[in-house]
Amino acid sequence: MKVIVLGAGVIGVTSAWYLAKLGHEVEVIDRQPAAAMETSFANAGQVSPGYSTPWAMPGLPRKALGWMLKKHSPLVIRPRVDFAMFRWMTQLLLNCNEHAYDINKARMLRIAEYSRDCLTALRDETGITYDDRQRGLIQLFRTDEQVAHAQDDMRLLAESGVPHDLLDVERIIAREPGLAQARHLLKGGLFLPGDESGDAHMFTQRLAQKAEELGVTFRYETPIEALEPGATEILGVRTTAGRITGDAYVLALGSYSPLLLRPLGIRMPVYPVKGYSLTVPLTDESRAPVSTVNDETYKVAMTRLGERIRIGGTAELTGYDLRLSPDRRQTLELSFSDLFGGGDLSRATYWTGLRPNTPDGTPIVGPSGRFGNLWLNTGHGTLGWTMACGSGRLLADLIAGRRPNIPHLDLSIDRYAS
């Protein structure tokens, strides 16, 4: 078939790669001048299946109220008249119970673990490099309460067969010596040896090059205006460069996916959650991460990417506003300075992107339901890089009518049908 992929971020490019590997003619359309120029450009750099956790969890409403009173809150809600945001927040709150949390986390772990295995196979097949390291992740706890809460996640990790280890402070520092000067701040940490790190932008651009070698066509600088619907199928895509047609269409536009579906009468519960990052030149090896760590207190990730350190995190509900907030930068700098400090913050590159979040944390991968040739691959939230290869492989198998390697029905948009 001829398959049109809408979006050249990490989700769109991995989808195109796996579709091309199955022999399809693939064309990718994106408004940017190159691949991975929006949300995939400067994310936290973590491939973290073991850290796949829904935001919707028991106790979140109480935590969120407390965060609102803090200057360095991991969550910021900008007041605005936005009915899509209100609907999304309502659905998220409905998932803030133990039963829903267990279901959603198990789904996320399944696709994320599968995706990590697909990434490993792709790396072995192609020899692709992207400042990648396979040295695990440590979730750092600064309070006894955080350590106690980790026991619940460890139960779910054990049930899903995900390797993990609760470390004391000395064992944390043995794995991440750069944290030695922050010893007094730490209470413990959850080590996830199967997690990895790497530059998603570098990976996506290099995979796009390899996809072109397979025959994939990339149409950059081509804004998408609308999908043209028929009675049961999509007839074409209207772009600024004209009408483009294919046999099947894959929607991988991240936070912008719902805007393209709305005129078709399809309501997709994906809302943009704004995140920030700093990319910092390494100045002191002895005070830098070896791999990647997450500061649970501020929800900030710090990842080693070659001679750079990526500091990413915070969550802001503010629609599609891409302005850079000075306050959010201060939070990233505070977390990094507390724990490491081995980078030149004065020369940091400050960036923001919109994560496409679903209320339950699980991505939407599969058929659109209403149109037989329209497929969805979006809603990965903060875990697009983590889930990209698995989601792309899963979707390619579904489009080709092949039996996927993992259960997939609960990843479809049908779970939101009322």
H-helix or E-strand containing 405?
none
- Helices 144-159 and 98-126: crossing angle in degrees, nearest 10, is 70
**CA gap 328, 319 in Å, rounded:** 16
- Is 286 one of the annotated binding-site residues? no
**Total Cβ atoms within 10 A of residue 274:** 23
353 labelled as ligand-binding?
no
CA distances to 247, 249, 268, 341 from 1, in Å: 6, 10, 26, 52
Q: 16 a known binding residue? A: yes
Q: Is 399 annotated as a binding residue?
A: no
Burial of residue 357, with CB atoms counted within 10 A of its CB: 0-12 exposed, 13-18 middle, 19 or more buried: buried
Residue 343 marked in a binding site: no
C-alpha pair distances (Å), 61 with each of 54, 133, 164, 344: 14, 36, 28, 36
226 belongs to an annotated ligand binding site: no
Rounded CA separation 279/259 (Å): 30
12 is in an annotated binding site: yes
Residue 140's H or E segment, with its range, is strand 137-141
Say if residue 244 carries a ligand binding annotation.
Answer: no
Q: Which amino acid is at 234?
A: I
Does 45 count as an annotated binding residue?
A: no
- Helix or strand or coil: residue 300? strand
Count the neighbouring beta carbons within 10 Å of the beta carbon of residue 380: 32
* Residues 224/260, Cβ–Cβ less than 8 Å: yes
Identify whether the C-beta of residue 312 lies closer than 8 Å to the C-beta of residue 303.
yes
Alpha-carbon span 203 to 198, nearest angstrom: 8
217 is in an annotated binding site: no
7 is in an annotated binding site: yes
Residue 14 marked as a ligand binder: yes
* 13 annotated ligand-binding residue: yes
Q: Is 342 annotated as a binding residue?
A: no
Instruction: For residue 237, say whether it is annotated as part of any ligand binding site.
Output: no
Number of residues written out for the chain: 418
Per the annotation, binding residues are 3-17
Task: State the binding site for FAD.
Answer: 3-17
